[in-house]
Structure 1
Amino acid sequence: MPASIVMTVLAADRPGLVSALSETIAARGGSWQESRMARLAGQFAGILRVECPEAECDALLAALVGLEAQGISVQAKREAAAPAEKRETLALDVMGNDRPGIIRSLSAAIAGAGGNVEDLSTSLESAPMSGHPIFHAKGIVSLATGSDPAVLIAAIENLGTDLSVSVES
C-alpha cells in the first residue's frame, strides 16, 4: 500500500520551482496526486499530496527537506488513510464590501452552522462603477449528513446586508 504525504511549499517565485519539486518526488517513485499552487506577493505557495511506495517514504521526506538548499521550504507530513465520513458538500460563492475580519466572520459562521471548509479561494476585486474593493470567496463547504444547508446560508447572510451569498449542492 502506498504512503500518502501532504506538504506545503514556500519559496521566492522563479522558473523551475515546480520542476525541482516534481523531479524530487518522481526520483523516489512518488506520484503527484493533487495540488493547489499560487503566486502571492512574489512568493510561490503550494499545498499538495503525493503517494509513494512505503519503502521510499523516509527517503522522499528527507529529499524534500533537502530542497531547502535550493531556497524551497517544504513542510511534509505522512498521513494514514482515514475512513471518509459521509458528508454533503456545497459550493459556496460570497461577494460583498471588503472589511477587516471578513474571513474570521465567514469561517466562524461556517463552523457555527456545523460546516467544514474543504476548499476556499478568496480575492479582492474592483467594483464595476466605483472601483472600491469587493471581497469574493468561492469554495466547497461540507456538512454532516442530515444537516440543513439553510442554516449555513442564514448564518452567512447574517454577517451583513452587503453580502451576496450563493450556495449550490
Structure 2
Amino acid sequence: MKPIIFTLVGADKPGLIESLAKTVYQYGGNWLRSNFSHMAGHFAGFVEIDLPEEQHQALIDAFNAHPDLKITLMSAAGREAKFPNTAVINIMGNDKPGIVQEVTGVLNQFNINIRSFDSVCESAPNWGSELFKAQAVIAIPDDFDLDTLAERLEHIANDMVVDIDLQQ
C-alpha cells in the first residue's frame, strides 16, 4: 500500500462521496481521512487513501472519467511526522481584509507550521455586519516559548481589533 492524496471540486449532488468511496474500495484502497466543504457554490475537498501502487493509474483513470468533479491526484511522501505539541489559535472579529495575512505572517516569523486552518464569515447577531471566525491548529517545537508568540498575536489583535486566543 502506498499513500495517495486527491483533491476535488465540482457541482454538488447527493451521492458524490459515496461514489468516490466505492471507487476507492473497488481498486483496493483504504480511506484514511478527508475534509469536505461547500465553497462559493461548489463542493470541494481532499482525501488521503492507502492504495496498492499498481492500482494508482487505474484509480486516476476512473477519477478522470467522473462526470461531476474535477479530481487531482498525487502520491503522498508517506506518513507524516507526528507533532507531540500543538496549540490552537481562535480568531474572531468584524471581517476585514488582512486578518489571515497578519496571523499567518506572525506564525511564519516564528517558523511555525499550521496543521489545520478553518475559517468562516457569517452574519454577526445584532450587528448586521460580517463576523470572521477562524481556528488554527499549529505544531509547536519542544523548546518553543509560547509566551512570546502570544504577545505578538495580542499585538496584532489590538491593531486589527479582533480577539485572538492562543491555547496549548
Letter of the structure 1 residue corresponding to residue 23 of structure 2: T
In the alignment, what sits opposite 2:69? Answer: 72
In the alignment, what sits opposite 1:28? Answer: 27
TM-score scaled to structure 1, two decimals? 0.88
Cα pair 2:119 2:134 within 8 Å, conserved: yes
- Unpaired runs of 5+ in structure 2? none
Please report how far the alpha carbon of residue 128 of structure 1 lies from its aligned counterpart in structure 2 after TM superposition.
Answer: 3.1
In the alignment, what sits opposite 1:43? Answer: 42
In the alignment, what sits opposite 1:151? Answer: 148
Please report how far the alpha carbon of residue 83 of structure 1 lies from its aligned counterpart in structure 2 after TM superposition.
Answer: 5.8
Mapping for residues 73-88 of structure 1, pairs under 5 Å:
73-81=70-78, 84=81, 86=83, 88=85
C-alpha distance after superposition, 1:2-22 (max 9, x if no partner) = 110111110111112112211
In the alignment, what sits opposite 1:137? Answer: 134
Runs of 4+ deviating beyond 3 Å: none
- Distance 1:85-1:38 versus aligned 2 partners, 3 A rule: closer
Q: CA RMSD in A?
A: 1.8
Mapping for residues 83-94 of structure 1, pairs under 5 Å:
84=81, 86=83, 88-94=85-91
C-alpha distance after superposition, 1:93-123 (max 9, x if no partner) = 1112211122122211111122111111101
TM-score scaled to structure 2, two decimals? 0.89
Letter of the structure 1 residue corresponding to residue 56 of structure 2: C
- Unpaired runs of 5+ in structure 1? none
Between Structure 1 and Structure 2, how many residues are aligned?
Answer: 166
Residues of 2 paired with 1:72 and 1:83: CA distance? 27
Residues of 2 paired with 1:146 and 1:60: CA distance? 43
Letter of the structure 1 residue corresponding to residue 147 of structure 2: A
Mapping for residues 7-26 of structure 1, pairs under 5 Å:
7-26=6-25
- Give aligned-pair identity as a percent: 27
